[in-house]
Structure 1
């Protein structure tokens, strides 16, 4: 084969190979690809950072009477308005909006602050004042916590979110969010629970979950004598209502709105506006 034939053959081979390969990527195309990769990385990082925050805020609710760790700035001053089907009871005013970010605390208050003494709490509500007598001898830890939360304005404002009208007869309050899942950020155990499960009319007692150490800020008032389970240790009685029980009875008379008339959100709303506590004079 002559040199000229060899060169012709090599040229044909090169042309054939050129047809079977893609052209190299140009500078502009390469820049577009690099930009696309950077943009994709940014979007992925944004999703990883932002999505858990959104989901976390949405799924933070815990079981009733179980405190939650939340931000420390309370809200207030806004009117909640009445839900469909709600109506104000006689002598009541429209409640303020619940707190979206109640105060939160780390340490359980020292029970020595209440031990061995009797205290008087004045609870201002949208339906009038209630007066509680608090027993620092039988329930010092609970009373010390109540005093601490009152002093800190934890319940200002705070709706009473639950009323029961069949089987048990209570009005439950103490969650500033009004959801039944709010608390002060700390919990403590049971004190002074009746062994027979009987709670006289006008009893002031702590609400909790099945965990006996889940007492926090939620409490209930019995407007009729009520029999409650003793399993798990019962519920702390830390005082009694000495004035304003007729207000609780008035709210209960209109029953509950949701999820049933026997147990749920009161048809007639009532909200705590302020709580103050002083030592009872001899």
Structure 2
């Protein structure tokens, strides 16, 4: 079985190849556009995919003032999206039921919300959640057996209206194919004013249909999450807490095909979706 280090190295090499191919395509487009030959060498070194870099949940590479560095928008494209879903990993050993969760106050909340109750949290069963958005409904099934504390927090935030009227701030269409949401500021720097521990294990894998938490390092989970619609060559460092239904994946696919503004390229990659995704309401079925 591959070690975490081997997985990280494999992901790094794969991403390097993908970024090099993307740079080569961009170079050819420039040559066609101006009618001259331009030589370019693209060197990608030490690039490791991370799902957050600042502000507890942040995923953007930010300027000193906290804003993202915008680049030229990426035009809509016929991107390659896998159609086969991945099967959610199962814990090698079940968690105690009920269990206890610790939510630690951290920073200023991007939107007023209370801290969840961490006592007697169920680690069994699933919860249905629907993200109603301006581009269509995205159905989620949260799995308490995988990540009870994460599910408890997500449901709490949803029921308190934290996610309502918030927009998804980043989408990746090459290398890491996912839509990241959950920051009311829309900048990738906001969180709920508390953090909680990772609920990860070695067997975790990421791919089409997986719902996981973004973080800025070990045990820094907050409100930001990402929905994988395609490839995701990541180490098992991001808490998986459920899955996305087929209709929801179709919605995300269309958003991905609309392109992004490139504001997070080249690292961590992607940008703000050119097709706005705003959650108009979030419903939870007990």
If the TM-score is normalised by the length of the shorter chain, which range does it land in?
0.5 to 0.7
CA-CA distance at 1:225 after TM superposition: 3.3
Give matches, 1:126-137, under 5 Å. Answer: 126-137=134-145
Contact 2:213 2:224 in 1 (8 A): yes
User: 1:108–1:186: 8 Å Cα contact kept in structure 2?
Assistant: no
2:234 is aligned to: 228
CA contact (8 A) 1:108 1:187 kept: no
* Cα distance, 1:129 vs structure 2: 0.7
**1:122-201 to 2 correspondence within 5 Å?**
122-193=130-201, 195=202, 198-201=205-208
Answer with 1 or 2: which has the greater Rg: 1
1:269 corresponds to:
276
Deviations 1:185-221 (A, max 9, x none): 110011145x2663021100000002x1110100000
Evaluate the alpha carbon distance shift between residue 167 and residue 225 of structure 1 in structure 2; reply closer, same or farther with a 3 A threshold.
closer
Question: Given the alignment of the two structures, is residue 239 of structure 1 paired with residue 242 of structure 2, yes or no?
Answer: yes
1:249 corresponds, among 244, 247, 253, to: 253
Q: CA RMSD in A?
A: 2.7
Q: How does 1:197-212 map to 2 (within 5 A)?
A: 198-210=205-217, 212=218
Runs of 4+ in structure 1 deviating by more than 6 angstroms, as ranges, are: 84-88
- Contact preservation (8 Å) 2:183, 2:224: yes
Q: Give the aligned partner of residue 103 of structure 1.
A: 112
Gaps of 5+ in 1: 1-61, 69-83, 89-99
Distance between the aligned counterparts of 1:102 and 1:188, measured in 2? 18
Per the alignment, do residues 108 and 101 of structure 1 end up closer, same or farther by CA in structure 2, a change over 3 Å counting?
A: closer
1:245–1:103 Cα change, 3 Å = same
Q: Deviations over 1:2-43 (max 9, x none)?
A: xxxxxxxxxxxxxxxxxxxxxxxxxxxxxxxxxxxxxxxxxx
More helix by share: 1
Q: Which has the higher strand share?
A: 1
- Rate the CA distance shift 1:229–1:180 in 2: closer, same or farther, 3 A: same
Residue of structure 1 aligned with 2:221, choices 200, 215, 225: 215
CA contact (8 A) 1:160 1:269 kept: yes
Which secondary structure state, in structure 2, belongs to the residue aligned with residue 198 of structure 1? coil
User: Structure 2-normalised TM-score?
Assistant: 0.59
Q: CA deviation at 1:251?
A: 0.7
1:201 is paired with a residue whose SS is: coil
